[in-house]
Structure 1
Amino acid sequence: MGIVRRNSIWLSIIQYLGILLGYVNTVILFPNILDSDQFGLTRILLSVTIVISQFSQLGTPSMIVKYFPYLHRKVLYYGFLICAGGLTLVLSLIWIFKPEITSWYIENSSLFVEYFYLLVPFSIAMVFYNLFDAYLKALFKNVLSASLPFIFLRILWMILILLYAKGEFDFETFIIAYTVSYALIALITLIYIGILGELPTELTIAPGDRTFLKEIRKFNSFNVLSGLSAHMINKVDGLMLGSLESLSSVSIYAIAAAMASVIRVPASSIARTAPSLIAHAFKDNDHRTISELYRKSSINQLILSSGVFLLITLNYSLLLYYIPEEYADSFLIFIMLGLAQVIDTGVGINGYIMVNSKYYKVDAILSVLLLVITVGLNFVFIPLYGTLGAAMATTMAILAYNIARFSFLKIKMDLNPFTGKTMEIVLIMIAAGIICYFLPLPENLWVASILKSSLFLILTAPVIYWKRYSPELSELVDLILDRFRR
């Protein structure tokens, strides 16, 4: 876990800085400067682009991580060819069926239809950024590429929205710059790979690679379904709200979703390193390493994600203090989405294990089935409960998804991420959260938030440290305390 912990610390720092910037953009600047429909447009453009990119890249990010130990630099060349072909196919189909697609949104989200064409440059940029970022993950050189969307891009978006607020340009110029700016981080990532000297030099298909290419075709055909479904489960709620409700509903939902995304930071940091280690472990048939990574990722992510979830819950009113009143009614949405994130991260890296194992076909089948269930649940719950219904559907789907993955890995590979510590941590977090939430406190929002947060940390952090639930976290605290004493 040494390389995972080291990279995870840096990546967590980057992502928390990005969260601060994202909070300023998503919760303060965008809702106060843009109309609710305009703000909703930025969210739905991003969501649709993510879905398009998942179709277009045809499973190449996971393929690069899985096959890099065998093909090394040439895997980037093959990934580039696959992405170029996928983009050509998918964007052509989207443009052919544009009238049918836009008809779903013309009534409730006409602004999205007006700027539909921006999906093309946005999707191309995102696909190639994802490709280059996956390659850097395989090289264990992904700190810079992680900082680009979390820090650089959000600073750029902040500058754009402030210039728009000052009247330097109109909304059309802003939204074009907003989407095209993704191409800049893709270009920077490619230049960085060149500086590292890791660009492929052999741009032909070697005879010895043909066996791997057959495996890659089979792997990608299933992995594209798995990756697409996993992303769609988290994005279909916003897309269906835009169609069944309005862009205003999308913007309200986006506030809660942005808050819930903070919970994933520790898991996202681990996920940028762990899949490459798992791929190497499967190559070496090292079941012990896989089991250890699975168990440690679960306990670490459970502690951190549940702690972040409860801290945001205790301070939600303060975090939304500066946004317009129309966005304030999102607390229950956040609770549902936050629980979904705790569940998804608390079970550990089950998805990465399945994708890198010989059972990747099963993961694809489970993903597709759960996507169908998610869409069905959204069709039922959105008309009944609106934005809260979308959050309920997402939470139920993610819970079912992880139960299925956990059960399969336990039966087929005898892998179990949970120990007796798991339930103890859950009980400690629940008890501390209830005490702090219902504690009588001063009416001043700032004072109350400081007291609640401090009490929560006092009730949880020392117990987790002293009982060594996570040796990695306890060792990190020891290191910090030792340096502080010096």
Structure 2
Amino acid sequence: MLSTKNDFLNKLIDAFIGKGAFILFSLLFSLIATRLYGIETFGEYTFAFTLASILMILSKAGLDNGLIYTMPKTKDKYVSLSLLVNLIFSLLIIIVTFIFVKDNYIRFMLPLIWLLSVEQVFFGIYRAEGKIKEFFLVNGFFSMIIRVCVLLVLYYLYGDSPYVLALSVYFSLIVSNLIYFVQNRSKIKKIEFDFSFISYSLFLVLANLLGVLMGKVDIIMLGILSTKENVGIYQIVVQVTSVVSLILIVFSTVFAPKISEYYHQNNYEGIRKLYVKASRMLSSIGLLITIVLIVFSHFFLGIFGEDATKGSMALIYLSLGQLINISVGSVWTIMAMTGKPKLQLYANIIAFTTNIVLNYIFIPKYGMSGAAFASMITHFITNALGYTAVSKRFNIKAFKLF
């Protein structure tokens, strides 16, 4: 038992360091980009990258979580199938989007859909095997260092074109995916088609797509209903407040495969104990970080330039939304890893619809603060539904009052 706990803790530390490095390098990338290129150019890049990130969710088709759910039983059986389906979906989405989108810069960014999605499929493999450190050494350190260095080199060679930002991301993702492929080439075998695996993954992709859209739709709607400057500032605010959700993201990296393992062993008591301890710990840490971010909001945003401090109110709303998210814990991870992905889909449909309506109402009047307020309310709805579902299914009461 002690060995199991130590192994879980070690993986948690690896995930924290790796994900923390990724976020810090992402902030450094944003800092350099805004200083060298300006908020407006960075906003143009952010809008295109956000669109590619959303479409990436479709192209990965929930295969990363599908692998986490099945690999404890089936090992490498569905790895080749997952990579093939991901490639086919990516090509179809890139082609269709290219036809309908007329903006040349967005078209230039579309191949990122496959590069981002196949990285997530590989991440599912690493998580299922407990090789958290191996993945984040590439994703959180090596790849991000390359991205920042290429950005600086290309700036001094070609000036402040937004295409330089895109090329630096391209280069880092190509290198990192080549490394993932080499490290996992022994798992790529004869393709075995299984409709049950595909259908399970597709429910997850729809749920995850709506989840990501809830986090990205505010940026998309800001780009449509507001200015590119507001998009750039809002992206900085999102990255700063992501420090709150970092703990939950890191925990979920290790939490998901552990829940899958407990579920296949019929160890429901293990699921209950792990979730209760996690929720109480995460809520305490999240509250502390949220207070610091709100109190020193002008300082943190001021690092990115005086214009960025216009997002102080948005930072408060987004921080509170992330606090709600982290306090409830990985409720939807539990449902997905115990064979109930449909419930997350239904909850996300409700929350996503609410988010769009609220953004449409508040962005024209309050700008980025309105988008952040809509995001906060959406977090509350999603997590309240998830907590209710988990509590009823596993008879869990994480907090004394509810």
Shorter chain as denominator, the TM-score bin is: over 0.9
Write the deviation string for residues 397-450 of structure 1: whole angstroms up to 9, x where unpaired.
Answer: 110000011112222331232247x9xxxxxxxxxxxxxxxxxxxxxxxxxxxx
User: 2:184 aligns to what?
Assistant: 193
Letter in 1 for 2:112: F
Letter in 1 for 2:14: W
Give the counterpart of 2:191 among 180, 192, 204. 204
User: 2:42 aligns to what?
Assistant: 39
Residues 18 and 98 of structure 1, relative CA distance in 2, 3 Å threshold: closer
TM-score (structure 2 length as normaliser): 0.92
Distance in 2 of aligned mates of 1:263 and 1:373: 23
Tell me by how many angstroms 1:165 deviates: 4.4
**Residues 1:16 and 2:20 are matched in the alignment:** yes
Letter in 1 for 2:379: I
Secondary structure in structure 2 of the residue aligned to 1:329: helix
How do 1:336-415 residues align onto structure 2 when only pairs under 5 Å count? 336-415=317-396
Write the deviation string for residues 291-318 of structure 1: whole angstroms up to 9, x where unpaired.
Answer: 1121122122112222222222233333
**Residues 1:297 and 2:297 are matched in the alignment:** no
Distance in 2 of aligned mates of 1:135 and 1:6: 18
The answer to whether the Cα contact below 8 Å between 2:15 and 2:136 also exists between their aligned partners in 1 is yes
Tell me by how many angstroms 1:172 deviates: 5.3
Letter in 1 for 2:281: N
Tell me by how many angstroms 1:200 deviates: 3.4
Secondary structure in structure 2 of the residue aligned to 1:7: helix
Write the deviation string for residues 151-199 of structure 1: whole angstroms up to 9, x where unpaired.
Answer: 33332232233234434555255134123122221211222224xxx52
Distance in 2 of aligned mates of 1:235 and 1:276: 26
Distance in 1 of aligned mates of 2:166 and 2:312: 32
Residues 279 and 248 of structure 1, relative CA distance in 2, 3 Å threshold: same
The answer to whether the Cα contact below 8 Å between 1:126 and 1:183 also exists between their aligned partners in 2 is no
Tell me by how many angstroms 1:325 deviates: 1.9
Distance in 1 of aligned mates of 2:24 and 2:101: 37
Residues 214 and 256 of structure 1, relative CA distance in 2, 3 Å threshold: same
The answer to whether the Cα contact below 8 Å between 1:121 and 1:179 also exists between their aligned partners in 2 is no
**Residues 1:159 and 2:146 are matched in the alignment:** no
Residues 127 and 23 of structure 1, relative CA distance in 2, 3 Å threshold: closer
- Aligned identity (percent) is 19
**Residues 1:184 and 2:175 are matched in the alignment:** yes
Distance in 1 of aligned mates of 2:191 and 2:33: 47
User: 2:93 aligns to what?
Assistant: 90
Distance in 2 of aligned mates of 1:306 and 1:166: 42
Distance in 2 of aligned mates of 1:359 and 1:378: 30
Distance in 2 of aligned mates of 1:148 and 1:376: 39
User: 1:232 aligns to what?
Assistant: 213
Secondary structure in structure 1 of the residue aligned to 2:266: coil
Secondary structure in structure 2 of the residue aligned to 1:328: helix
Letter in 2 for 1:128: V
Letter in 1 for 2:88: G
Distance in 2 of aligned mates of 1:285 and 1:334: 42
The answer to whether the Cα contact below 8 Å between 1:348 and 1:417 also exists between their aligned partners in 2 is no
Secondary structure in structure 1 of the residue aligned to 2:399: coil
**Stretches of structure 1 lacking an aligned partner (at least 5 in a row):** 100-112, 423-486
255-264 or 138-147: which moved more? 138-147
User: 2:80 aligns to what?
Assistant: 77
The answer to whether the Cα contact below 8 Å between 1:55 and 1:228 also exists between their aligned partners in 2 is yes
Write the deviation string for residues 23-53 of structure 1: whole angstroms up to 9, x where unpaired.
Answer: 3332x32221112221112222221121111
Secondary structure in structure 2 of the residue aligned to 1:330: helix
Distance in 2 of aligned mates of 1:183 and 1:57: 17
Distance in 1 of aligned mates of 2:92 and 2:273: 41
Residues 97 and 128 of structure 1, relative CA distance in 2, 3 Å threshold: same
TM-score (structure 1 length as normaliser): 0.77
403-412 or 229-238: which moved more? 403-412
Tell me by how many angstroms 1:137 deviates: 0.4
Distance in 1 of aligned mates of 2:69 and 2:179: 24
**Stretches of structure 2 lacking an aligned partner (at least 5 in a row):** none
Letter in 2 for 1:124: W
Write the deviation string for residues 91-110 of structure 1: whole angstroms up to 9, x where unpaired.
Answer: 232123225xxxxxxxxxxx
TM-align CA RMSD:
2.0
Letter in 1 for 2:287: S
Distance in 2 of aligned mates of 1:98 and 1:270: 37
Secondary structure in structure 2 of the residue aligned to 1:272: helix
User: 1:440 aligns to what?
Assistant: none
**Residues 1:276 and 2:263 are matched in the alignment:** no
The answer to whether the Cα contact below 8 Å between 2:109 and 2:166 also exists between their aligned partners in 1 is no
Secondary structure in structure 1 of the residue aligned to 2:122: helix
Secondary structure in structure 2 of the residue aligned to 1:408: helix
User: 1:214 aligns to what?
Assistant: 195
225-234 or 9-18: which moved more? 9-18
Distance in 1 of aligned mates of 2:181 and 2:252: 21
Distance in 1 of aligned mates of 2:99 and 2:151: 33
Letter in 1 for 2:282: Q
Letter in 1 for 2:95: S
**Residues 1:124 and 2:102 are matched in the alignment:** no
Matched positions, count: 397
Distance in 2 of aligned mates of 1:4 and 1:307: 24
Distance in 1 of aligned mates of 2:162 and 2:230: 22
Distance in 2 of aligned mates of 1:165 and 1:82: 37
Distance in 1 of aligned mates of 2:146 and 2:227: 28
Secondary structure in structure 1 of the residue aligned to 2:167: helix
Secondary structure in structure 2 of the residue aligned to 1:166: helix
Distance in 2 of aligned mates of 1:149 and 1:19: 11
User: 1:470 aligns to what?
Assistant: none
Runs of 4+, deviation exceeding 6 Å: none
Letter in 1 for 2:188: P
The answer to whether the Cα contact below 8 Å between 1:409 and 1:415 also exists between their aligned partners in 2 is yes
Residues 214 and 163 of structure 1, relative CA distance in 2, 3 Å threshold: closer
